[in-house]
Every structure is written in C-alpha cells, then in structure tokens.
Amino acid sequence: MSLDRILLSRFRNHRETAVEGTAQFNLLVGENGAGKTNVLEAISLLAPGRGLRRAQLADMPGQAGDGGFAVSAELVAPGGDPVRLGTGIAAERPGRRLVQVNGAQSSALSLAEWLSIGWLTPAMDRLFVEGAGARRRFLDRLVLALAPGHAGNTVRLETALRERNRLLSEDRAPDPRWLDAIELQIAEAGALVAAARADLVARLDEALVALPEAPFARPALAYQPGGPLDAEGLTAALREGRPRERAAQRTLTGPHRDELAVTMAGKGQPAADCSTGEQKAMLIAIVLAHSQLLEGYGEARPRLLLLDEVAAHLDPLRREALFERLRTGSAQVWLTGTEIAPFEAIAGEAAVWEVSGGAVRRVS
C-alpha cells in the first residue's frame, strides 16, 4: 500500500494543493519558504499527535482562509479499494481536531491503525542536547510505529498525571482516596508505556549493533526509567512520595521522567558531547535501524518516512548509502531539498514535484 492523492486545503501557504502519482521515492524541490516542509507536515498529521512541527492547530490554517483547514489522502493497495484518511479543523471550532476514515468520523488515535509514519527534520538535530522531554517524544514516535496502542496508553498516562499534579498543587490537602484512584491509573498506564519503551529500545539497540560502523556513526542506546517499571512498584512509589511531591506540587516519579541515553559506539562518548556531524549521523542511523526493525517484524501497515532537508547536509558517500538503505526497504519515502542535484542517484526512479509559493507542480 502507498499514500497517494494527497490534498491540502487552506493549510499554511497551500490554498489548494494536490499531490498525485506517488512512488517509493517522492521529492519536493523548491526554494526555502516555498512550502515543501508544509507538505510533509500535512502528511504527518495523518498520524496521532501534533505533527512534525508540534504546532498548535490554530497556527496551521492559511492566512487568507476562514480559519479552518483540511488534509486528506488515500491509502492505495493494488487490486483493493482505497482508504480515505482526512483531518483538519472547522472555522467555527478552531481548537477541535476532526478526523475521518472513509468519510466517517473517527479519532486521532485511530490513525495509528492505518499508517506508520516517522520523520527526520532539521529541528531534530538538537535532539541529543535538548531536554529529556524531546527524547521521550522521539522514543514514543518510534514505539508508535511498532505498537499502535501505545498512543492510547500515553494519553491515559498524561491525563492522569495532569489530574494528580492538580491535586498536589491545591491549597488544601487532597483526599487520599482520590489520590489512590488517580495513582492506580498512572501506574496501570505507566507500566504499559514503560514496558513498550524498554522493549523498543532493546530491539533497536540490537538492530544498531548489526549495522556497519560506517558511513554513519553508530549509536548505542539505553533506556533509563524514571520510576519502577511494574504497576505495583509504581503505585507504592507514588504513595510514598506524596509528601515530597506535594511540596514540589508535581509528580517526580514515573515514566514522564524516563530518559533515552545515547552514546557513540566505539568512543563511549555521550551523544551530547559529540560533534554536530556525529550527532546527525547517529540520528540518521537510528532512523534507518528503526525502519529495518519494522521490516524484520513484518509491520503490515503502510510505512512512511518524511526526511526534511536531509540530503543537503551529507557528503556524496553518505547520501548514496542513505538512498541504498531506503531503496531496499518497503517504506514510502518523502524528501525535500532546494535543488535536484543531491538526489541525482534516485531522480530516475522518483516522483518529483516543484514547489513554489504554496503551489506544487509535477515535473517527472
């Protein structure tokens, strides 16, 4: 299955854009600010979450529109009926995200059942030097590609944590029985989230070990839990920590404190202390290993990789290695660039669009 007939309506600088006739490799070429990343962002909204920019819904409608936007696409299978996925917001309810599957109302979480989407953007180049929250979001996106139910577990965990933090921050002491109930929800959802993260990191680290040392620097991964991994242990830790956490007015133990530790294999150096080029190479290695991992576990959902401006920062040797690894997989790949030259190795087999001023024109 592949994604095709992608429509953007009043989305950022795209008033009405149609992208049809897709291939395994899909290139969006144009000047900076033309709207290439906007197309990738629109595609990323066909998965749970806030998309590759993590933008607010209110920031996505085009300035010349009525305050709403729509994004839709078809999952096309040879010999089968296409599945139409759509999302957006209505002008009269700008804070509510709408989702449809074949014209029927659905939830954003349900999108994970249809597509597995991963991405790599220039903003992620600082992943290893930013706070742990960015790495947890990155890890959860990788988990979601393998386990669609992970999205629901993380939402339940975050909802229960917000409620517990609210209770902890009130002037009066919270009802212990109400805390018991909330902490049980945190523990049950948290144990599932932690188990999924730990399993993914173990699998991914094993896949990375099997990759060659070159041309991309190979990272070693470790999962560092923010609390007990089992529900019973986490429940006990939350109950015991109430006095300290009431003083802090927030929950200090649990999966929301998890960390993904990354070191450069061979050097044993934390990724945060490596050069910018080494960090970029390790990030690419993780994305490629994750794609390979999904291949090995027989992922049945269509898979997409959205790679924003990735080729421009690689030398010819690493670009060719990247394309070759992508070529041997089954994921549909979307790449952006300011010129076609870095993509010459795949230009003959790719669908290519020229993007200019929020308009998309097929050129090959």
Q: For 358, which DSSP code? A: T
Distance CA 62, CA 213 (A): 45
Q: Check residue 299 and give its pLDDT.
A: 67
Distance from the Cα of residue 230 to its chain's centroid: 26
Q: Which amino acid is at 150?
A: H
Distance from the Cα of residue 21 to its chain's centroid: 25
Look up the pTM and report it. Answer: 0.92
Distance CA 168, CA 113 (A): 36
Closest CA to 100 of 80, 71, 76, 68: 71
Residues 122-140 have pLDDT tens digits of 999 999 999 999 999 999 9
Sequential pLDDT tens for the chain (364 residues): 789 999 999 999 999 999 999 999 999 999 999 999 999 999 999 999 999 999 999 999 998 889 999 999 999 877 778 999 999 999 998 889 999 999 999 999 999 999 999 999 999 999 999 999 999 999 999 999 889 999 999 999 999 999 999 999 999 999 999 999 999 999 999 999 999 999 999 999 999 988 877 788 889 999 999 999 999 999 999 999 999 999 999 999 999 999 999 999 888 999 999 998 889 989 999 998 998 888 877 667 889 999 999 988 788 999 999 999 899 888 999 999 999 999 999 999 999 999 999 999 999 9
Q: Check residue 129 and give its pLDDT.
A: 95
The sign of the CA dihedral 233, 236, 240, 241 is: positive
| Sheet with 219-224, side-by-side order of all strands | 219-224, 259-264, 269-270
Residues 290-314 have pLDDT tens digits of 988 888 776 678 899 999 999 887 8
**What is the pairing mode between strands 351-356 and 359-362?**
antiparallel
Q: For 207, which DSSP code? A: H
Residues 140-189 have pLDDT tens digits of 999 998 899 999 999 999 999 999 999 999 999 999 999 999 999 999 99
Distance CA 75, CA 134 (A): 30
Per-residue buried b or exposed e for 170-198, using 16+ beta carbons within 10 Å of the residue's own CB: eeeebeeeebeebbebbbbbbbbbbbbbb
Residues 6+ apart with CB under 8 A from 202: 223
